[in-house]
Amino acid sequence: MHQSCPRILLFDSGIGGLSIADAIRLRLPDADMVYAGDNAGFPYGDLPEHEVVARCVALVEKALARWPCDLVVVACNTASTVVLPMLRSRLRLPVVGVVPAIKPAAALSRNRRLGVLATPATVDRPYLASLIDEYAADCTVLRLGSSELVRIAEMGLAQGWVDDEQVRAILQPLAAGDPDTVVLGCTHFPLIREALARAMPGVRHWVDSGDAIARRVVQLLDETTGDGTGTGQGSSTFLFTAEPPAGLRHWLEVSQPGTRGGGPQISRVNLNTARNSSIGSAGLWQQ
């Protein structure tokens, strides 16, 4: 598409992709963003692969039918492991996926003990094992999959806080292995980075893929404004397949205080994976 500012579609099963949106906004402050959250299917880690693929394809095609974009970001580790080939075969625009940051984590580790914190689905994927074999073969890699921690991150947005004791209990098996570097292999987890750090104070580095994804987006868009010096007035549109998350408006006020077009738009979309229908009519709330 041809417009003065690029438009980017990001999607996730919930609010985890907001961490990727933040990273992209820092490098492309004038980009228009459409964020699609399939919270009716949350969490993807609990769904069979074929259902994840069907939901992702339907949501992306619905969103693009209404908001043509220049690039799509699969802002979900679980979805990235299963849906990228299908999307790339169906779309005539770049599709960027999220890769667990094993390579940079291995480069940072001093004691050669890495932790990988992700969903159970991501932890069990052969793709993760291949990344470890390629980039961290000389490291002891401790893997912990937790869907409950993903739910805690979602609740944290609504409540404005997380239960430190609950987080500490979930992370105890990982902490027992004494990693000095932990890979955040789910896009939800950077949203609760401070709570994770309190639970495991011995970790020197918490590594996520946000900035790497943002740099890849800039490269693909060939944007000259990717140095963070723009006005920061890019518009934001948010779509959700269930009720928009509580606390989202407050998060937007903090993270995106000024945007073009009168503030972020938040709406609910009817997702029907049985057919490729257009965007369903929904109430639109203006912040």
Show which residues are catalytic: 76, 186
d(CA 59, CA 242): 12
Average confidence score pLDDT of the chain:
86
Residues 221 and 273 in one domain: yes
Q: Are the C-beta atoms of residues 173 and 200 closer than 8 Å to each other?
A: no
What's residue 253's pLDDT?
65
Per the annotation, where are the binding residues for substrate?
A: 12-13, 44-45, 77-78, 187-188
Residues 218 and 203 in one domain: no
**Which positions ≥6 away from 42 have C-beta within 8 Å?**
13, 14, 154, 242
**219 CB contacts (<8 Å, ≥6 apart)?**
none
Q: Are residues 156 and 92 in the same domain?
A: no
Q: Tell me which DSSP letter residue 16 carries.
A: T
Domain stops at, among 208, 225, 250: 208
Q: Domain check: are 123 and 175 in the same one?
A: yes
State residue 4's pLDDT score.
65
Q: Are residues 203 and 110 in the same domain?
A: yes
Residue 169 Cα distances to 133, 141, 173, angstroms: 29, 20, 8
Point out the domain boundary residue: 140, 175, 208: 208
- What's the pLDDT score for residue 228? 47
Same domain, 80 and 135: no
**Residue 115 sits in which domain range?**
102-208
Residue 272 burial (CB count, 10 A): 10
Inside any domain, residue 1: no
Q: Answer yes or no: do 143 and 241 share one domain.
A: no
Q: How many domains is the chain built from?
A: 2
**Among 188, 239, 244, 196, CA closest to 66:** 239
Last residue of a domain, one of 208, 234, 267: 208
- For tokens 């980017």, name the residue: 8
Residue 158: the pLDDT is 78
Q: Quick: pLDDT tens for 35-61.
A: 999 999 988 888 899 999 999 999 999
Quote the CA–CA distance of 223 and 281 in Å, as a whole number: 33
Q: Model's pTM, two decimal places?
A: 0.84
Residue 2 counted as domain residue:
no
CA distance 249 to 254: 9
Neighbours of 126 (CB within 10 A): 8
CA-nearest of 48, 33, 36 to 12 is 36
pLDDT per residue over 159-218, tens digit each?
888 999 999 999 999 999 999 999 999 999 999 999 999 999 999 999 999 999 999 999
pLDDT value, residue 277: 36
Residue 197, Cβ neighbours under 10 Å: how many? 13
Verify that 203 and 120 share a domain, yes or no.
yes
Same domain, 94 and 216: yes
Binding residues, as ranges, are: 12-13, 44-45, 77-78, 187-188
**Same domain? 130 vs 86:** no
Looking at the predicted structure, is the pLDDT value of residue 278 above 50?
no
Given a cut of 60, whether residue 260 has pLDDT beyond it is no
Q: What is the CATH number of the domain that holds 188?
A: 3.40.50.1860
The answer to whether the CB of 193 falls within 8 A of the CB of 167 is no
- 122 and 108 inside one domain: yes
In a domain, 142, yes or no: yes
pLDDT at 282 exceeding the cut of 60? no
Helices 77-90 and 49-66 pack at an angle, to 10 degrees, of: 60
Cα–Cα distance measured from residue 210 to residue 200, given in angstroms and rounded to the nearest whole number: 21
Determine the 3-state secondary structure of 248 from DSSP: helix
Query: Looking at the structure, do residues 93 and 162 belong to the same domain, yes or no?
Result: no
